[in-house]
Chains A and B, each alone.
Chain A
Amino acid sequence: MSGPELLLVGASHRSAPLGLRECMSLDAVRRDALSKELSALERLDGFLLLCTCNRVELYALADDASALERAEELFCKATGLGIAGLERYGYRRQGADVARHLMQVCSGLDSQMIGETEILGQVKQAYAEAAEKGQLCAALHRLFQKSFQAAKWAREHSGICLGQVSLGAVAVELARRIHGDLDKSRIMVVGSGQVGADVARAMKLRGAGDIVVTSRTAGHAQTLSESIGARVIDFSSWKDEITESDIVILCTSSPAVVLSRDEVRSAMNRRAVRPLFLIDLAVPHDVDESVADLSDVFLYSFSDLADMANENMRGRMAEVELCREFIMQKAASLWEDLQRRVNGACDELEVERGERHSPLCGSVENTRSDSGS
């Protein structure tokens, strides 16, 4: 026996195109079916399936190479990737490389948007589900716990999570710098463009309570309002609503300017003393650019928000190397630790009990029965 081996197979946004990732995606039914097949494999100590919109991965530990090969085959079959597809569009890692990869994933270093924290929640969710179903052995438990710790360190000791890097988050941050808490602000969305809807959704997620939408096509406004929990107002009266609004998001498909300087000035004269934040996401512009010169009016265009997001992203990238160095060290020491524990425990138990596996390298069935008891 050559000792326990850790395996990772999968594909992500870095290796596979979007269309292929969509085909590979494992819904709950396919995931359960694959889990059952993997659980049935003899001498597979533990495994975890990670399925997000950007990656599908299998982490597995076994002290038998054939068990890992079989697990890999089952994974490739379930995802439709095939062994040849895995060679071309996926990746296969073993040993310390798995620990390094997982730590990078948890830290957001391997994400499409560097430093995003959503992935950590998704990995934790997958970990919790696998633990509940008894699919993890002690070594995998340790691997994931240590990876969460590494992610926490990366967030707290580096700048990879600093600054907003999506258009919606940048718009929210700006709105907060102008108006403070969004729950006290009224937001109006004019038009039904996708980017405008995304920004409005980001504001809703961050506490905006009063959102109204309007569109030249009533049906579009209705659809948007249902998706973000907003009220619909009549398109003919939206300019009157500016006096009541704190943030106006414009994303119409109008070929000409829909909001002139005089109209904004007139609205500002009629409204109470408070600033107005105009977010013009339309191309071509919906708002006359000279509006930005008015007192208490803040006009941001799509390119302004994109520039700010890119600037923040550059700031994050500068921190990536620091995190990578830390993760390299952590992954190497974790792998040594895991090998020591697993080999030590196996040797002891082999002497004591012959065939039976230890809790560290015990089979899936053993782990499940242990947790059940």
Chain B
Amino acid sequence: MDHFMIPALLACAYLAAFALWLPRLYGRGTRAGVFTGRLAWAGLATAFVLHTASLVESGIRTGHCPIANAQELLLFVAWSLVATYFIVALLFRSSMPAFFTAALAGLLCMGANYVGSEKMREELPLIVSAHAGLSLFAYGAFALVAINSAMYLIQLFGIRKRRWANIFALLPSLRELDAVNLRLLQVGLGVYTAAIGAGCWWYLFGQGSVSGMKLLFASLVLFGYVVVLGLRMLGVLHGRRLALAGILLFALALFTLYPVQHSGAWGTNKDAASAVEVQP
């Protein structure tokens, strides 16, 4: 299967799961709505299994974590997003609807269809693979924060504007969304810190080199999320402002992927002078 078939198929699978949720929004409580809701869950789970299988196959085939190019990066972020969703849904028993997750995962896979799939990286040391994999997994958690925040704003809009559509009843309560956002921020930041730690270890003790641009943007993202989490825990930033911050920060984090991707990030001191071939 060529490089463009897999993202297209995955995008179709996720978007199909998203589409299956729409009848449930319209016919909440009816048998047809419940049936399509279950079908949508099954669709999302199937898409996730296919996605996981394609990443595993790609990893076995290439012998490294499948994050060697922009296409694989986006696919990995989409996978991390859905994986984090399932973890949060099961671990915290959150009733957070999955249709937003399916939609965003579908859009990311669709985006992966339009970006380059040429190999931009040679084989990486394990620690660098771990760094990149963890970073992208953290991005998945941050994406979920953004989705959660969007749901918060939608629910808030409905309550403020006295709207009574089906979608509002399907969304979790404001308090639950706020609490889940806090947990997701903690999880995402924990994983991201571990990723940065792995990168630092490679840089300091593993004869690695890193570009200043990559360091700057990674630090910016880390700093942004640390500030937001700190303010949330102090009770200064919460509710609507936390939701807005969650969305803006994720947009910033996505924006930094481009300079990080093209900054010639990782190499060794031996080839630091010509270190343009590898980046996370």
Measured CB to CB, the residues of A under 8 A from B are 156-159, 161-163, 173-174, 176-180, 272-275, 295-296, 298, 300, 304, 307-308, 311-312
Q: Is B23 interfacial (CB 8 A cutoff)?
A: no
For this complex, 28 residue pairs linking A to B, each with C-beta atoms less than 8 Å apart, are A157-B30, A157-B32, A159-B27, A159-B30, A161-B29, A162-B30, A173-B169, A174-B159, A176-B173, A177-B155, A177-B158, A177-B169, A177-B174, A178-B173, A179-B173, A179-B174, A179-B175, A180-B173, A273-B235, A274-B175, A275-B239, A295-B240, A296-B239, A304-B162, A307-B162, A308-B164, A311-B164, A312-B164
Chain A residues with CB under 8 Å of B27's CB are 159
Whether A178 contacts B162 by the Cβ 8 Å rule is no
Q: How far is the CB of A203 from chain B (nearest CB, A)?
A: 14
- State the CA gap A296–B159 with chains docked (Å): 11
- State the CA gap A300–B173 with chains docked (Å): 17
Closest Cβ neighbor of A292 among chain B residues: B160
Whether B30 contacts A178 by the Cβ 8 Å rule is no
Interface centre among B28, B164, B235 (most CB of A within 10 A): B164
Q: How far is the CB of B149 from chain A (nearest CB, A)?
A: 16
Q: How far is the CB of A305 from chain B (nearest CB, A)?
A: 9
Interface size class of B (residues with CB under 8 A): 20 to 34
14 additional A-B residue pairs with CB within 8 Å, beyond A156-B30, A162-B166, A179-B174 = A156-B31, A159-B29, A173-B169, A177-B155, A177-B169, A180-B175, A180-B176, A273-B239, A274-B175, A296-B238, A298-B159, A298-B160, A300-B162, A304-B162
Q: Is B172 interfacial (CB 8 A cutoff)?
A: yes
- State the CA gap A307–B164 with chains docked (Å): 10
Chain A residues with CB under 8 Å of B29's CB are 159, 161-162
Q: How far is the CB of A348 from chain B (nearest CB, A)?
A: 39
Is chain B's interface secondary structure helix, strand, loop, or mixed overall? Answer: helix
Whether B239 contacts A163 by the Cβ 8 Å rule is no
Return the CB mask of B156-189 against A: 1 if under 8 Å, else 0. Answer: 0011101010101101111110100000000000
Measured CB to CB, the residues of B under 8 A from A are 27-32, 155, 158-160, 162, 164, 166, 168-169, 171-176, 178, 235, 238-240
With A157-B31, A157-B32, A296-B239 in contact, do A178 and B164 touch (Cβ < 8 Å)? no
- State the CA gap A169–B151 with chains docked (Å): 23
Chain B residues with CB under 8 Å of A156's CB are 30-31
Chain B residues with CB under 8 Å of A163's CB are 164
- State the CA gap A267–B169 with chains docked (Å): 29
- State the CA gap A159–B31 with chains docked (Å): 11
Q: How far is the CB of B267 from chain A (nearest CB, A)?
A: 45
Chain B residues with CB under 8 Å of A180's CB are 172-173, 175-176
Whether A273 contacts B172 by the Cβ 8 Å rule is no
- State the CA gap A177–B32 with chains docked (Å): 24
Whether A178 contacts B239 by the Cβ 8 Å rule is no
Smallest CB-CB A-B distances: 7 pairs: A180-B173, A156-B31, A273-B235, A273-B238, A180-B176, A178-B174, A179-B175
Chain A residues with CB under 8 Å of B159's CB are 174, 177-178, 298
Q: How far is the CB of B151 from chain A (nearest CB, A)?
A: 12
- State the CA gap A307–B163 with chains docked (Å): 10
- State the CA gap A4–B102 with chains docked (Å): 59
Chain B residues with CB under 8 Å of A312's CB are 164
Interface centre among B172, B173, B176, B238 (most CB of A within 10 A): B173
- State the CA gap A305–B32 with chains docked (Å): 29
- State the CA gap A274–B235 with chains docked (Å): 10
Chain B residues with CB under 8 Å of A179's CB are 173-175
Chain B residues with CB under 8 Å of A304's CB are 162
- State the CA gap A111–B174 with chains docked (Å): 34
Q: How far is the CB of A315 from chain B (nearest CB, A)?
A: 8
Q: How far is the CB of A182 from chain B (nearest CB, A)?
A: 10
Chain B residues with CB under 8 Å of A295's CB are 239-240
